[in-house]
Amino acid sequence: MPFPFILPTTSSFSFSSSFTCESHPSLTLNASTHRGVVRSSLKKHKRLPAASQGSNLPSILSDLNGYLPYLLAIDAGLGNKLVSGEELSVVLTSTPAIEWRPTLSDHAVPGKETARIKIQSLEYEIFFVLSAVGYAHTQLARSQLHPLYATSGAPPGAQARAAAITGATRHLLEAAAAHDYLARRTEGLAPPPCADVAQPTARALALLALAEATLLAVLKDDPYPAVVAQARNDDDREWMYRAPEIPKVRAHLFARLCVAAADHAAQAASLCQAQQAGARRLDAALPRYLEDLRRASRARACRFFGIDAELSGQTGAAIGWLRCGLRELGVETPRDGGGGARKGLSLSRMKKDWTERREDKKVERGTNWGADAGRLEETRVIEMLEAKWTKINDTMLTQSIPAPGTLIASLPSGRDMHTIKPYQPPELGRETLEAMRAPPDRSDDFGDEQASSDDDERTAAATPVGAFPGTHDQYARSISSPYEGGSGRNSYY
């Protein structure tokens, strides 16, 4: 369940107002044109309903990748660097003033949208665009994994499930490469204007994407989440004629992969926590998600060690490992000294059932699902196995259950499954550069557009319902008030 990022929005900007290129005069105009496309795409994506945003993500990613070569070419031209074997000569004529709306920074006013920040460096423009590329890849991974968690409709088959996990893993590794590139690129820069474009944030997001890709390698061969989801699916009829198949898994290997994912999440959480002491703080949702991911990963590792013990005939040790996992998740175990689940009604049980129903509704609507980093899903799996194995141990085997503290201390070190490959930034081709040696065929007026991504929304909200077009000014409140002797009615009347 990758983190539900929100794509940032930006103001209009004309590169010709701050940069000139003597070697390729049309470069600034082409960069402004592609930036205008990106701005319009992000603005449109923000207004789409949550159910329709997933299908719009490939278009967003295509527009961002189309704008990046021009942006990086201007940046390279400022340093007289070669682009596809050609030298660009870009001169800074005035300080650029670009506005972006951050999505990871802390809200100054709770419940209100974060205010836009003004950046005056091309480096942070590159940071925001590449961050949006990483967010889009993560959102594409979420959209591919969404059918695996849905509880309505026919459950996906084995091939569809493997294809979805493979595609999501590819997108997460692409996101990790983009964030890692930013973390390396921004070393030694001046203090950032917000936490979204800070170097520790980029490093934390790269580790987060790597941890999620590692967990997907485990999910690909982990049959238990699919069994739990199938049991909650009202449209499933397979249970009528056959039991779900649970093949043997490489439990020890999967446990070490989960420990590695927990380590990556812990490193990312420490990087985010270091920024919470300053003025440029992150929103609490990201650090909370990282902590939940660390807990869920360690609990999953404990579950696989329990599966390994149960396959060896050590049911008591297996139950002990499951209770270690429940402790990592922060779930109270009914009886630490014996098996059995607590029956009857209780406030905690009612709260748990309500939380599960709310998460199921989020999955069905496709809005902000998986914000707990898989803690609820792992809790369901562990409780299912704990109830099953405890019943067997109480009625047949009667093996002693070791204390969770003695087992958790024997967790081995993690093992990485993936490595972050170097990000290859796109470059302009030689033919494109040759075409831009010609003077521009029109003026660069992209900076004259509306500065905000939601100015249209404010204008629409300011017009009263049912008003004739062009007469909204006549519906303004009168200057006089009832307390100053005025009537207090609208000036229209």
pLDDT of residue 353 exceeding 80, the answer is: no
Give strand pairing partners of 348.
Answer: none
**Residues ≥6 apart with Cβ < 8 Å to 47:** 457
pLDDT number for residue 471: 65
| pLDDT band at residue 359 using 50, 70 and 90 as cut-offs | low
pLDDT number for residue 336: 46
CA distances from 162 to 74, 158, 370, 399 (A): 42, 6, 20, 37
What's the token pair of residue 55?
A: 């299908």
pLDDT of residue 100 exceeding 80, the answer is: yes
| Residue 257 and residue 214 in contact, taking contact as beta carbons nearer than 8 Å | yes
- Average pLDDT, rounded, for the chain: 81
| pLDDT band at residue 127 using 50, 70 and 90 as cut-offs | very high
| pLDDT band at residue 208 using 50, 70 and 90 as cut-offs | very high
pLDDT number for residue 397: 72
What's the token pair of residue 276?
A: 């919470």
Cα angle value 102/104/110 (rounded, 5°) = 90
Report how far residue 274's alpha carbon sits from residue 127's, in angstroms, rounded to the nearest whole number: 20
Q: For 137-181, write each residue's pLDDT tens digit.
A: 999 999 998 888 776 766 777 788 889 999 999 999 999 999 999
Letter for the amino acid at 28? Answer: T
When comparing pLDDT for 98 and 487, which is higher? 98
**Residues ≥6 apart with Cβ < 8 Å to 28:** 14, 15, 16, 19, 20, 21, 74, 440, 444
| pLDDT band at residue 240 using 50, 70 and 90 as cut-offs | very low
pLDDT number for residue 191: 82
pLDDT of residue 270 exceeding 80, the answer is: yes
pLDDT number for residue 457: 45
Give the pairing of strands 19-21 and 90-92: antiparallel
Could you give phi then psi for residue 83, rounded to 5 degrees? -130, 110
Q: For 43-66, write each residue's pLDDT tens digit.
A: 999 998 887 888 899 999 999 999
Mind giving me the DSSP string for 123-137?
A: HHHHHHHHHHHHHHH
pLDDT number for residue 334: 56
| pLDDT band at residue 441 using 50, 70 and 90 as cut-offs | confident
Report how far residue 210's alpha carbon sits from residue 118's, in angstroms, rounded to the nearest whole number: 31
Coil/strand/helix, residue 72: helix
**Residues ≥6 apart with Cβ < 8 Å to 35:** 13, 15, 67, 70, 71, 446
Q: Which residues of 445-465 are buried (b: 16+ CB within 10 A; e: fewer)?
A: ebbeeeebbbeeeeeeeeeee
Give strand pairing partners of 90.
Answer: 21
CA distances from 263 to 204, 268, 274, 370, 487 (A): 12, 9, 17, 20, 67
Q: Among residues 208, 169, 200, 168, which one has the least CA distance to residue 182? A: 200
Out of 2-6, 144-148, 336-340, least confident range = 336-340
- Within its chain, how far is the Cα of 177 from the centroid? 15
| Residue 376 and residue 299 in contact, taking contact as beta carbons nearer than 8 Å | no
pLDDT number for residue 204: 95
pLDDT number for residue 107: 76
Sign, Cα dihedral of 105, 106, 108, 110:
positive
Report how far residue 290's alpha carbon sits from residue 424's, in angstroms, rounded to the nearest whole number: 27
**Residues ≥6 apart with Cβ < 8 Å to 334:** 340, 341, 342
- Within its chain, how far is the Cα of 367 from the centroid? 13
Q: For 458-489, write each residue's pLDDT tens digit.
A: 444 445 556 665 565 565 544 344 444 444 44
Q: Span 269-297, mean pLDDT?
A: 86
When comparing pLDDT for 371 and 256, which is higher? 256
When comparing pLDDT for 366 and 116, which is higher? 116
Out of 44-48, 110-114, 201-205, 314-318, least confident range = 110-114
% the chain with pLDDT above 70: 76
Give strand pairing partners of 19.
Answer: 92
pLDDT number for residue 449: 56
Beta strands in 46-92 (DSSP E): 82-83, 86-87, 90-92
Sign, Cα dihedral of 86, 87, 92, 95:
positive
Could you give phi then psi for residue 159, rounded to 5 degrees? -70, -40
